[in-house]
Amino acid sequence: MANQQLFLGIDCGTQGTKALILDATSGQVLGQGAAAHSMISGANGRREQDTQQWLDAFTQATHQALAAAGVDGQAILGIGVSGQQHGLVLLDDQGQVLRPAKLWCDTETTPENDRLLAHLGGEDGSLERLGVVIAPGYTVSKLLWTREQHPQVFERIASVLLPHDFLNYWLTGRHCSEYGDASGTGYFNVRTRQWDVQLLQHIDPSARLQAALPELIEAHQPVGRILPAIAAHLGINPEAVVASGGGDNMMGAIGTGNIQPGVITMSLGSSGTVYAYAAEPAVSPQPSVATFCSSSGGWLPLICTMNLTNATGAIRELLDLDIDAFNALVAKAPIGAEGVCMLPFLNGERVPALPHATGSLLGLTTTNLTRANLCRAVVEGTTFGLRYGLDLLRANGLQAQSIRLIGGGSKSAQWRQIVADTMDTTVICTEQSEAAALGAAIQAAWCHSGSQTGLAELCERCVKLDPSSETRPIAAHVAASQQAYERYRQHVATL
């Protein structure tokens, strides 16, 4: 086993932290671990997390993964960290966290975001200046909110970090950020790949925020070596290199081999995302399309829907079904669910852009109100939102031969078929469903190798497709799905 090259990939998400050990020589994942996080929630849309939980979960998941892989932590050559995007972590001049991290799913800062958007000249002005339209989930409105709601905290800010930047700081003691995750802050220009310092000065003229910005590094550049005390705490080689890391979508792109044009990654998680690699920053005129930078040296035009497995889970709970019973009912109902249409906007919605919408069931009659049709309608409704987003990406020149599916929903054969038929594209799952943790480990191997090239070769070796999951569209289904999708579009238009 002397030629093994072992890397640790970490994905710090909203629900918990996942860890995996990758042998970059064979491309095999040798072991995995996981630990949960809890959320601080408020009725006003507050969604925050205690950052200490991330550090505890990181440690626990790492120890589990090393034990499961049966490897000595001293053999780990590098670490890559994937983090939930947009979250705000504030440190004082001693490196201490000032307050709980405000997360991507926090909507408490909507009024602040509205004011900042107006300052930028609305959606068009934001697109022109930053290349993205700032949304309440982005980091920038969280800064204005902190200044207004917690002035004493604001005055002590010495460092402004994203979740993955904070974990890299804990590992290495260095404050830095890479372009992919920085793209989701709302104070970063995705075309020029630079911080928009003027916008931060608008929030606070004292230049405090400007001074608190982390240094920007390229995706292939390591942050540095792990600190000796943290290496000992994790049981890892003190010579291990810490990679630049990135946001969960950027790492998911690497972990699905989505680093050159032609592939689309679609994630069926608690929220739904669709993204693809682009070599140039062709910013879409559609506000819903976020033209983020990738963490592989290019760009990653992306759409995100707020409602996916949360909506299917709500119907499962309502009808008291386990996953197998639910899938069986989905399969039993015809395409279009006999006219039953669900607009699954339980959290409001980003794509289509309906932030204040609620969920609704439409087209019900005495004959079509069945459990099977309800189950089918929720899966179709969430998938139609992704189709809407994919159409926006295609309108901006995106072409794809195949869709790589990840996330919990991708494990359902019924859902895979619905995606293939709705998108009229072949879908296939990657063998490793923890795509972000895998991407982080692959990026660590890339940073460790010290070369700008080599990422494609690593992806070739480490990203494995699951041939048994390959699902092709069926012509008759495609036509019926298209009709059901048109009906969905008509219902959306009335909102």
Quote the DSSP letter at residue 280: S
Amino acid residing at 61: A
State the Cα–Cα distance between residues 17 and 121, nearest whole angstrom: 38
Compute φ and ψ for 263, nearest 5 degrees.
Answer: -115, 140
State the Cα–Cα distance between residues 330 and 337, nearest whole angstrom: 9
State the Cα–Cα distance between residues 468 and 404, nearest whole angstrom: 13
Q: Are residues 280 and 245 in contact, defined by beta-carbon separation less than 8 angstroms?
A: no
Beta bridge partners of 361: 342
Q: Catalytic site residue 50? A: no
**Helix, strand, or coil (residue 391):** helix
State the Cα–Cα distance between residues 274 and 61, nearest whole angstrom: 28
Q: CA of 186: how far to CAs of 24, 89, 239, in Å?
A: 35, 15, 35
State the Cα–Cα distance between residues 252 and 418, nearest whole angstrom: 22
Q: Are residues 166 and 99 in contact, defined by beta-carbon separation less than 8 angstroms?
A: no
Quote the DSSP letter at residue 354: B
- CA Rg value for the chain: 22
- Angle 122-130/110-120 helices, nearest 10 degrees? 70
State the Cα–Cα distance between residues 407 and 272, nearest whole angstrom: 9
Q: CA of 299: how far to CAs of 71, 77, 193, 328, 455, in Å?
A: 36, 28, 11, 39, 15
Helices then strands (H, E): number in the chain? 18, 25
Q: Tokens 């590094």 label which residue? A: 217
Q: Which of 50, 248, 391, 421 is catalytic?
A: 248
- Nearest Cα to 170, choosing from 218, 219, 220, 101? 101
- Nearest Cα to 308, choosing from 272, 266, 261? 272
Burial class, 2, CB count within 10 angstroms (exposed 0-12 / middle 13-18 / buried 19+): exposed
Catalytic residues: 248
